[in-house]
Amino acid sequence: MGRALRAALGLTGLALAAHAAPALTSIGPLRKRLLPHLAGVGDPGHIALTFDDGPDPASTPAFLTVLDKHQAKATFFLLGQMLWAAPELGRDLVEAGHEVAVHGWDHRPTLIRGPRAIYNDLARATDLIAAVTGQTPRWYRPPYGVLSTSTLIAARRLDLTPVLWTNWGRDWQRDATPQIVLATLTRNMDGGATVLLHDSDCTSAPGSWRNTLGALPAILEEVHARGLSIGPLRDHHHSPHTP
């Protein structure tokens, strides 16, 4: 192998490593310890409730009903293609007092996409959310929780703050049940956590949202039993509990 070719391959390897380096933040314990803001650690008296992958006409309205019954608000990370298909649901979310955020246009891994494609994806989703709901998104969560350098650059250009999670219910899995979702989500859940659930099964096991919905009342009750408040990310860093 010639020296020039070896040098070119070396530079390519370095470029790929730089592109993928932020993906290390997908490791939950590492993220929570070293990058608590990215992990969603906030007010110790508050839990941030977030949902990914909607809005979905088959499931999101049922979540709105439960949240309304419990007088709870949440942040919904929307997929642009789902909102495009059901714009009225996006408006319903905001009218009910919930916060909307960006999950991208479609649910594709960012590591296999180039800078231009990533920016266009985020910009398209951000613009649609703002136009449909009248609410300018503040937060961004990448599909699968995997960031790349290009993703971070695109988010900064669009004035979006990336945020992942500290606890999840693994509610997308085929073998999940409401009891498993509750136990998984609340295990090691401290005040200040950001929890991840899904209000759609568009990227999950078919019907998995029913397990999430079944667990939701118990999750809300558990949070209140611990003396914590629960709500959207917009309240997670600027609440009366924050010093």
By annotation, the residues acting in catalysis are: 52, 198
Instruction: Tell me the C-alpha distance between 39 and 200, whole Å.
Output: 22
Instruction: Supply the DSSP symbol for 24.
Output: G
Listing DSSP states for 93-110 in one string gives HHHTT-EEEE--SS---G
Is 82:53 a contact under the CB 8 Å cutoff? yes
Listing DSSP states for 160-214 in one string gives -EE---SEE--TTSTT--HHHHHHHHHTT--TT-EEEEES--TTSSTTTHHHHHH
Instruction: Tell me the C-alpha distance between 83 and 52, whole Å.
Output: 12
Residue among 63, 58, 136 at smallest CA distance from 96: 63
Instruction: Tell me the C-alpha distance between 41 and 164, whole Å.
Output: 10
**Which pair of tokens denotes residue 39?**
């992990």
